[in-house]
Amino acid sequence: MPTGTGKTTVFSAIVRKAHLKEKFVLIVVHRIELVEQIAERLQSFGVSVGIISAGNKAEPDKAVQVATIQTLSRRNYPPADIVIIDECHHSKADTYKKLWEIYPDARFLGVTATPVRINGEGFDDLFEILIPLGKLSYFINEGHLAKMKHLVCGIPDVSKVKQRMRDYDLQMLKNVMLDNSIMANLVESYKKFANGKKTIVFAVDIEHSKSIVERYLGAGIPSAHIDATTPKTERKAILEQFKKGEILVLSNVDIVSEGFDVPDCEAVQLARPTKSLVLYLQQVGRCMRPSPNKEFGLVLDNAGLWLEHGICYIDRDWSLKGINKAKRKVAIEKQIGFDEEERIREITRPTEAEGLELVEISEDLERLLIFESFIRFAKAQEHKMVSVVYKYSDYLLSQNANFTEFEIKYCHRRLNKEGCNYKIGFWYHRKKELEEKLKEHII
C-alpha cells in the first residue's frame, strides 16, 4: 500500500482476528519509534501487547509481541504462529532472513509501500504472493491521500560524485550540497513556493542538516534539526512543536522517512540526491496524508530526484521479482510542466525545468502543447486569437478527438489572458459543434 494509506491499521485488524483465535503473533520493526506507534494502534484494537526493545520491560506472557529487529536478535525469540514484518523492504538483511529459519511453520506477512531494493533485487525468495491494495492514483482520487504538486527547485550537479554501496558517497555528496548557491536556493524556493507551510527537509548528513537550519533561522523562519542521535525527550519536544506549527521547517537525517505521522505536514523539501527509489518515495510520502486544511501536498525537489525516479505521484507497477536493471533509469526524453503563469511547457533539457510544476503526461496535455504552439504562431504573425480556436478545433478533428473538460478550462483561461474575453459557454458550443463534425467524420 502506498505511504500514508494505513498499512498499520490493516495489519492491526489482522492481528486482532488472530488474537481472538488465540494465535501467537510477532510484529518486527526496524526502529523504536515504530514499536511505540504500533503498540498504541493495537491497543486501540483492543489487543494488549508485549514490547521487545531496549529500555522496555519484557512481558513474555503476552500472545502478541512487537519487537525491534536489533533487540530481538539478542534475546529469546517468542513463540509465533504469524510473523508480521513492517517496512519489509528491509527484510533482505540477514537478521530478518534468520526469522524464516526460526519460525519454519509460521505464516509471514510483509507490509511496505516500496517493495524494491536499491539494486533492483526482488523479494520472491522470501515471499510467495504480492497483494497490491490499490494504486496511488486510486487513494488520491478517493481522498485517502492528498493531491500532489511536484516542483523542480534545483538540479545539483552530482556527475562527479562517486557511488558507494549503490548510492552516492555521502561525504562527496555533502560537499556538493553545501555549495552556497544550492543552500541559498533551499530557502529561496521555500519562501517562493511554500512560505508559511509546515515543511520537512531531508538532508545528506548531520552537518548538512544543521547548516540548512542555520540558513532558515537566518531568514527568520522557525526551524529545527533532528537525527538519530537527538535525545529522545528533545526529539519528542521538537516534533510536538512542529505539529503545533511553532516550528515551520524540520530538517532531518533519515529519521522521519518511515513511519512518521504528521498528517498536516504540507510540504517536503528534497535536499539529498539518492539512487534509492525506496528512500525517495518514503520521503515524499511524508506530505501525502490528507488533513482538513491541506489543499495539496507540495514537493520542493532541490535534489533533481525527478530525473532519477520520475514524478512523486505516478503509479508504479510492483513485482516480487524486482526491477529489471535495464529499465530502471527513468526516461526523461519528454516531460511536461506548468510554469508560474500556468502555461503548459514541454521540457527538452533538465535546466529548463527549474520553477516548473511537473505533471504526468496525458493525451489532452500533449494536445495542449500544440494549442500553445498555435498561440505562439498567431502572436508572431499578428493574427487574431480567434484563429487559434479554429486551428485547434481542426487539429482535434484530425485526431478524432474532442475537447475534454480540462482542455476547455485551460483554453478558456489561456485565451482570456491573451485578451479574448470569451465566456465559458463559447467553448462548450465549440465542443458540441466538434462532436457533430466527428460523427460525420467517422461516417
User: To 10 degrees, what angle do helices 170-177 and 206-218 make?
Assistant: 10
User: Is residue 284 located within the same domain as residue 160?
Assistant: yes
User: Is residue 301 located within the same domain as residue 421?
Assistant: no
The predicted structure's pLDDT at residue 261: 67
pTM listed for this prediction: 0.88
User: Is residue 181 located within the same domain as residue 96?
Assistant: no
Could you give the CA distance from residue 175 to residue 408 in angstroms, rounded to a whole number?
Answer: 48
Q: What is the pLDDT along the chain (443 residues), one digit of tens a residue?
A: 998 898 999 999 999 999 999 999 999 999 887 898 899 999 999 999 999 998 889 999 999 999 999 999 999 999 999 999 999 999 999 999 999 999 999 999 999 998 888 777 889 999 999 999 999 999 999 999 999 999 999 999 999 999 998 899 999 999 999 999 999 999 999 999 999 999 999 999 999 999 999 999 999 999 999 998 899 899 889 989 999 999 999 999 987 665 566 778 999 999 999 999 989 999 999 999 998 889 999 999 999 999 999 999 999 989 898 776 444 455 455 789 999 899 999 998 887 888 999 999 899 999 999 999 999 999 999 999 999 999 999 999 999 999 999 999 999 999 999 999 899 999 999 999 999 999 886 54
Could you give the CA distance from residue 9 to residue 3 in angstroms, rounded to a whole number?
Answer: 13
Q: How far, in Å, are 60, 103, 349 from residue 34 at the CA level? A: 20, 23, 41
Q: Encode 346-369: b = buried (16+ Cβ within 10 Å), e = exposed.
A: ebeeeeebbbbbbbeeeeebebbe
Domain that holds residue 277: 138-314+331-359
Furthest-apart CA atoms within the chain: distance in Å:
83
User: Is residue 167 located within the same domain as residue 301?
Assistant: yes
Strands of the sheet containing 64-68, edge to edge, are 50-52, 64-68, 25-29, 82-86, 107-111
Long-range own/partner contacts, residues 318-322 (CB < 8 A, 24 or more apart): 318/115, 318/116, 318/130, 318/132, 319/122, 319/130, 320/115, 320/122, 320/123, 320/124, 320/127, 320/129, 320/130, 321/122, 321/124, 322/116, 322/117, 322/120, 322/121, 322/122, 322/123, 322/124
Residue 61 in grid coordinates: 506472557
- Looking at the DSSP bridge assignments, the partners of residue 148 are 297
In a domain, 405, yes or no: yes
Could you give the CA distance from residue 294 to residue 264 in angstroms, rounded to a whole number?
Answer: 7
User: Is residue 237 located within the same domain as residue 297?
Assistant: yes
Phi, psi of 154 (to 5 degrees): 170, 145
User: Is residue 254 located within the same domain as residue 341?
Assistant: yes
The predicted structure's pLDDT at residue 257: 60
User: Which H or E element spans position 225?
Assistant: strand 223-226
Label the pairing between strands 163-164 and 223-226.
unpaired
User: Is residue 172 located within the same domain as residue 277?
Assistant: yes
By CB neighbour count within 10 A (0-12 exposed, 13-18 middle, 19+ buried), where does 58 fall?
A: middle
Which among 77, 100, 134 is the end of a domain? 134
In a domain, 399, yes or no: yes
- Count of beta carbons in the 10 Å neighbourhood of residue 57: 6
- What's the CATH code of the domain at 64? 3.40.50.300
Q: Which residue has the cell 528534497?
A: 270
Could you give the CA distance from residue 89 to residue 123 in angstroms, rounded to a whole number?
Answer: 8
Could you give the CA distance from residue 418 to residue 152 in angstroms, rounded to a whole number?
Answer: 26
The predicted structure's pLDDT at residue 171: 97
